Structure 1
């Protein structure tokens, strides 16, 4: 019998390798092995004016040993950046360092070392990287470093990119107590499409020309560079395109649509909105009081030109008005009295509540939103989940958006989620220890001012498919719509976004190029994969398991490194079967066999069949987050349920054993990194070689 050698990509992992943005001790005598120092904090302050960026960094490192050490501080500098200031704390005082060529720096360093002083010298080791030699690093003490550099940011079709090498902190000996990045962004042109694909950021838009972007985390080891994109565009709705294409495979794209921050009232669409509130007996006490405050907030913040109504329901349903009424002082005051008088008593008649809401709605040229709040399952009227959904959707002749709020755990998540999925809205769940008023008011702030409804996208010259969101939502003031998808073909294309504003058709277009070969935006494939996986998992959850869907989820999750309790179970199960059948070499699994963790994740996966309870709510929230992911952290749903102990008894997290390289995943197996491309090969009668 012939033995075949399997050729594959394995990236050797070495703890002694130098990396960027940390202090490493290369010859730490009398210590036995090289090691990186602990990073206490890492603070980044960036000011961007147009395309000029000034980055200031403050870091503190700690030497936990009892020895005086010598080390290197290594930091990658973006291409063409100019280091305009370097300072370091010496004997408690901030001292500026002189930038010298490497030959002069080395000579001065050696002279000061001989004098046992504390030098800090800056030298370039290669393009985009500089090294800082530091001696001495005193035992059990901190070493503080401050750096400042400026750069001109490149602009491509008005799209500007800023990158900060935060990835380096994964080499810290311990998690960082604090990491923060703050960007003060200004431009003489209108700023749009602000987007960070790598981190969960907070964006505060001061006006059309000024925004503050911030990220902060505690007790963490950042392992991804910080990336920020924005466009400069004077259009009412700005469009931008990023595309990724590698090899002969179809490409991936990201389209962003963002309205101006400061919008004239003529460009804000009036809306019809009906609030439906559950006032059954189970809503009594604090829940009802919070819900009433939430409704009052919404009513007080209706726009001029909006029409509204309020429906309360328990055993029966009652409506504030017989039809939606204009927003004026008299109607607002009447609504306040109606809300103040609400009391919790009786059963839960969801069918009658929606029937009354649709009966009292007359079609208009305004979009109609329904905000539905409930804490229970139907106990009166139609109680069968499938039949109730069908009746509500049949009554929804004008295709109103139904936004749902599930309060507590004793709710039918399948009912609420099918209503939102079928009406192109979204769902929100409020746990028993969360504040209903805060959740509802935050939601209302997002939908308060529609800019464009009934959206459609048209692409010429390229074929796009598997785009997410599957159906486009409405576009609101202050929002940024992100559409991920696949494409065939390449070259210049015209993209047109159309929709309705106060009954009139509006169009916004962008001419840009779909890349034929470009791997710069490698963050796009895993984010697209997360959205498709979330979409497929929701199909399985709401409609029943299908082998083809399960196989695709498994394949996509493995290929793109979307590791959650649900996908990790599917991957482990699939690879266990293929190893037993000889179709996969033992030792080349993307996820190493971990029976205890697999058993826990199996329980997670089969919770998708639950229609109520805490587990059902958690599954619904995590699937929606996957299906709407905008950054890496949102692809790691259920991360806290992926802990395990390795052979040394150390606690590890499965999600940290995967990295995305050039649009695909590689997995850590002990001292090796294994390429996910291996899984596409049939390996019967083949074995691993090293």
Structure 2
């Protein structure tokens, strides 16, 4: 058991640490062994529905157990940041089993119990950093296993465009090219689309974009014998006229027991709202040049710094601080962005090399010690991989030191360079200092990313934003406190409401002390229907709020109980819950390819012994309400293949027992695995499962 835990923990550590290597991997092992090996993906088909900025994606995936023995599979995969899993399903013998959310310890215990009995449950758990682990067992030798995962996410708006990213690269660890890959997207908008593109796959002949009408587009990508090398990105822009207020709602049917309505409100202010309040800027660029930044990262860092320098205006002040084991300043303090100083800055950047350890604490203290004026927009642009290795290395203490040092309330913007970054430190550093975090990936155009963000971080933000909903009765609205609204961004809020109708929705705030007020009438429906994903996304935000309280006040039982209750009610995974699919729980079964019905004339008992390793006794009863019946008894494998016929004859009423010596139609002994006894009579089929062990 120790070997298994070591392997899985190591795998999870690699995946949690980096999106690049969190590319999705399936490992299989002999169910009695501890040695895992990668298994190939056969089919990977995904469908996405985008409704304004809510996307629901369903992935239908088929793997192959390449072992010649019964196996357990462990699938580790990432989802986009903030995505909420809403359904887990898998197929055995044509039957679709749908998972339900359970308390994590109970789900794990149930899964372990089934494994010991060689039954076929599935367990999906959250591993942290939006990485998930799915276990399915047992899987027959040299056979396929098919499962489906559905998730919902809120799509981010930035600089006038909305991006949908599908982690297609989550299949790149398959040992063989995929036999088939496909992705279809149906995109809908309340406003007309101005543009719909795919920056990642738009030039592929295997990709298509079809305009159905001004508010509906279809996109498709597909290929055979294909091994992806990058994620799929879709980007769209919709028409706006001044302030843009979009609302999606959901009201559940009475039987759903969800109560009042749910809403998600997006407010996008006019692009020119910030411009009239622009001020000269004082910016300190603080850059990591430690050994961990060597290679592609230092190249990306230099390019980013040069783009920043090129964006400076003569009215700005700036300085560059670089750090590794020690801290070096280009100038003792901020200087004017004169041509001479810009030339010196470029020369300073050109000479940078990656060497030494990572002293983040001293670098931030040095940067905060610069002279910042009340007459300028003041900020620190912090660029690193975020892995402290010298000086103060405790992330919590670094954050506390920065908070104590930042008496002038300088905004800090964190830029993660490369794939493997300390997201916790970078995210909290920005959030606690009125900034935000961005990540520059290897495939990104650094010049474009930096140019966009430079305007965003240097124009004054809308401070203390708030949304009011007129006479609409709202409650449980999240986030409770809205973050500052930067140029090119939008504000999002989810909540519950009691009374529908048309109400004035108002965004208020201040830009450099000036009152801002944006208002628009919005309709909140009163009838059942809408987008159900809104309710789950609301529940996720409420769960996040409860998790924040646990971080502050400790793991109190009442907080944990609320999280578990919300998780189960709305079908959301958390660190306290898991998705569990149990073939013995008939409430989770959905009969698909095989028709299985109760028969009033015949009854099939459970085969014995089960599991079996020799001869199987199959007992059935022709009921007394019929004189007799033609009965066909067959054996099927887990994917519905008829491998043997045991009997096909007339049987009189009464109980009958057949003996089967576990051979197929060719007289060959079956391999260990899961099989199904089918009994057909009077147009109906009954099924019993049998485990064969050799």
TM-score range, shorter chain: 0.3 to 0.5
| Structure with the largest fraction of helix | 1
**Higher RCO structure, 1 or 2 (CA under 8 Å, sep 6+):** 2
- TM-score, normalised on structure 2? 0.46
Normalised by the length of structure 1, the TM-score is: 0.46
